[in-house]
Amino acid sequence: MKFLPMVLALLLSVAAFADPASNEPAPRRIWITDVTIVSPENLADLARGSVLIENERIVRVERKVSAKPPADATVVSGEGGFLIPGLIDSHVHLASVPGVAPELNANPDAAHAAMLADYYKQLPRSYLYFGYTTLIDLAVVNRQVLDDFRRAPLHPDLYDCGPSLPLANGYPMSFASPALRFQLFPNFLYDPAQSASIPAEYTRQDHTPAAAVAADKRAGAICVKTYFEHGFGKDRNLPIITPGMAAGVRKAATQNALVMMMHANSFEAQQFAVDADVDVIAHGMWNWGALDGQPELPPEIQTLLDRIVQKRTGYQATIQVMGGLRAYFDAEYLKMPAIPHVIPAALLAWFDSPGGKWFRKEIDEDNMPDAEMREGFDRGPIRRVRQVVGYLAARNANFLFGTDTPSAPTYGNLPGLNGYLEMQQLHEAGLSLEQVFKAATINNAREFKLDSQVGSIEPGKVANLVLLRKSPLESVDAYDSIVTVWVHGKPISRNSLAVSPNE
Ligand SMILES: [Zn+2]
């Protein structure tokens, strides 16, 4: 009786096709062929083959050249290229504009308003231009920007952690004026020791860890983000989250099935994050505190990194946070040929003007020469984070690809391009090309519970795909050899995503 269901299925499908009243449109089928399929669950079997997309989904993956397409499919030849799943950047800040002060972004004069509007219009396309089809925004400070992004005609899938959970008047609230900071970070954690400096309209019971996490859950978040940061520069003694508060966030995040993330970039902070049992550490460790001057990775830091490996804590190295600051002291940075493809001309011209370099003074208060500043970064925080990342890579830690774009109002973190630069940083710090690839695909998908939808090339998943001319397992350059990006099954040529597409 095995044939009976098959016969029934056949009859039903014939009926569906025969019914003239049916207004179901025929599914749009695209057969991508003559490609090497590079998917993270199957890297041992890099076969040439074909992939069938039906509307928004992947429906067949054929790892042999002889497979034939359905008669009604549009055949697209990959011309011997490499097909990978769309890339995932799990740490972005879409409402912040690289190089632009938050005050100017919030309140632009007429001259700057058009420049910013052009930037936001191009933003989703710049991420797609470098193959990013899924993004996670870690701290919603302006919901409107995210809504607009999701309404753009072409855009990556966007998830968020909702408004983040800083400690009242702690990092990063402290950077906004006392009047503005509670508006930008309405989901802060209440600190009874500071009740005098918290406006009366915010009550303690609305700002417990449980209440703050619940607010993010109601807002549709998939994660929550909190911070352990003493601060830097003028603000280096900020109030910090207590172990009790972190435990409250941990408990509520688990109850609400949200991923718990913590901003932590020092030895002390990452120790705190591991003790708090966070799911994801949102930065690499470039501050070693009293151990900063040690030339080799100190044993006490190794012990902590061993725990991070063993607990499979998600680790976002975000080395480009430092690279993005260093960019102000590197005359070659703004000359990169990719920049005019991802940044509109007016904003790029402004970056290169005296007014556009305001942030440089914030980084280099003592006005040191460029070469000294570059050396300071290279021998200090960049060296330290590379040593940490190399150690973790050798033990195959759970790396999650996240760029923190932009991590500060720096033009050194540009959408899309910053991901490509971060991949170079990771590879130079010791991640294999396979580790980089997995971090930006399946590791991110699994950690954020998106793996039923994205992260690999398998039947049933969303057809977010990228066609490369070169293999991502042979060079990082491959990620800049994009030909076509499919977003929910819709093919887009890379060139058409650039600011000014070539004819
Ligand atoms: Zn961030």
Q: What does 455-469 look like in DSSP terms, one character per residue?
A: SS--TTSB--EEEES
Average pLDDT over residues 44-66: 95
Mean pLDDT of the chain: 93
Q: How far is it, in rounded angstroms, from Cα 150 to Cα 437?
A: 26
CA of 408 to the centre of ligand 1 (A): 8
Residue 148 CA to ligand 1 center (angstroms) comes to: 20
Q: How far is the CA of 77 from the centre of ligand 1 (A)?
A: 39
Confidence of residue 13 (pLDDT cuts 50, 70, 90): very low
In the reported structure, the alpha carbon of residue 94 is separated from the centroid of ligand 1 by a whole-number distance in angstroms of: 10
pLDDT at residue 378, as a whole number: 98
Whether 426 shows a pLDDT value over 50: the answer reads yes
Q: What is the pLDDT of residue 287?
A: 97
Helix locations, 135-292, DSSP H? 143-151, 178-184, 209-218, 243-255, 267-275
CA–CA dist 94, 158 (Å, integer): 10
> How many Å lie between the centroid of ligand 1 and the Cα of residue 301?
23
Q: How far is the CA of 358 from the centre of ligand 1 (A)?
A: 21
The values of phi and psi at residue 260, to 5°, are -95, 120
pLDDT tens digits for 196-242?
Answer: 999 999 999 999 999 999 999 999 999 999 999 999 877 789 999 99
Please give the Cα distance from 155 to 152 (Å, whole number): 6
Q: How confident is the model at residue 25 (pLDDT cuts 50, 70, 90)?
A: low
What separation in Å is there between the alpha carbon of 93 and the centre of ligand 1? 7
338, 498, 340, 356: which is closest to 419 by C-alpha?
A: 338
Question: CA 300 to CA 271: how far, in whole Å?
Answer: 10
- Measured in Å, residue 8 CA sits from the centre of ligand 1 at 54
419 alpha carbon to ligand 1 midpoint, in Å? 14
**What is the CA(366)–ligand 1 centre distance, in A?**
26
Ligand 1 center–CA 284 separation, angstroms: 12
Model confidence at 1, pLDDT cuts 50, 70, 90, reads very low
- State yes or no: pLDDT of 195 exceeds 80: yes
Contact 182, 166 (CB under 8 A): no
Distance (angstroms) between ligand 1 centre and the Cα of 91 equals 6
Entry pTM: 0.94
State in Å: Cα 55 to ligand 1 middle: 34
Measure 175 CA to ligand 1 centroid, in angstroms: 14
What is the CA(96)–ligand 1 centre distance, in A? 10
Tell me the CA–centroid distance for residue 362 and ligand 1, in Å: 19
Cα–Cα separations (whole angstroms), residue 137 to 143, 155, 223, 394, 426: 11, 14, 10, 29, 21
- pLDDT-derived band at 24 (thresholds 50, 70, 90) equals low
Containing 315, the helix (H) or strand (E) segment is: strand 314-315
Cα 190 to Cα 60: distance, rounded to the nearest angstrom: 51
Tell me the Cα Rg of the chain.
24
CB contact at 8 A, 259 and 222: yes
- Of 430, 355, 354, 362, the residue nearest 397 (C-alpha): 430
pLDDT tens digit sequence for 110-153: 989 999 999 999 999 999 999 999 999 999 999 999 999 999 99
Report CA(404)–ligand 1 centroid distance (Å).
5
Report pLDDT for 379. 98
Residue 371 one-letter amino acid: A
Ligand 1 geometric centre to CA of 480 (Å): 24
Q: Helix count (H) and strand count (E) of the chain?
A: 18, 14
CA distance 279 to 308: 10
The residue behind tokens 């008047």 is: 169
The CB-side HSE value for 306 (13 A sphere, CA atoms) comes to: 7
Shortest CA distance to 100 belongs to which of 113, 90, 110?
A: 113
228 alpha carbon to ligand 1 midpoint, in Å?
12
Output the CA 407–ligand 1 centroid distance in Å: 5
Cβ neighbours, 10 Å, residue 182? 17
Average pLDDT (397-404) is 98
pLDDT for the residue numbered 175: 84
Interval between CA 333 and ligand 1 midpoint (Å)? 22
What lies within 8 Å, CB to CB, of 10 at 6+ separation is: none
Report how far residue 482's alpha carbon sits from residue 127's, in angstroms, rounded to the nearest whole number. 12
In terms of average pLDDT, the best of 26-30, 183-187, 233-237, 249-253 is: 249-253
DSSP 18-59: H-TT--PPPPPEEEEEEEEE--GGGTT---EEEEEEETTEEE
Residues 293-307: pLDDT tens digits?
999 999 999 999 999
CA of 316 to the centre of ligand 1 (A): 10
Pairing state between β 465-468 and 314-315 = unpaired
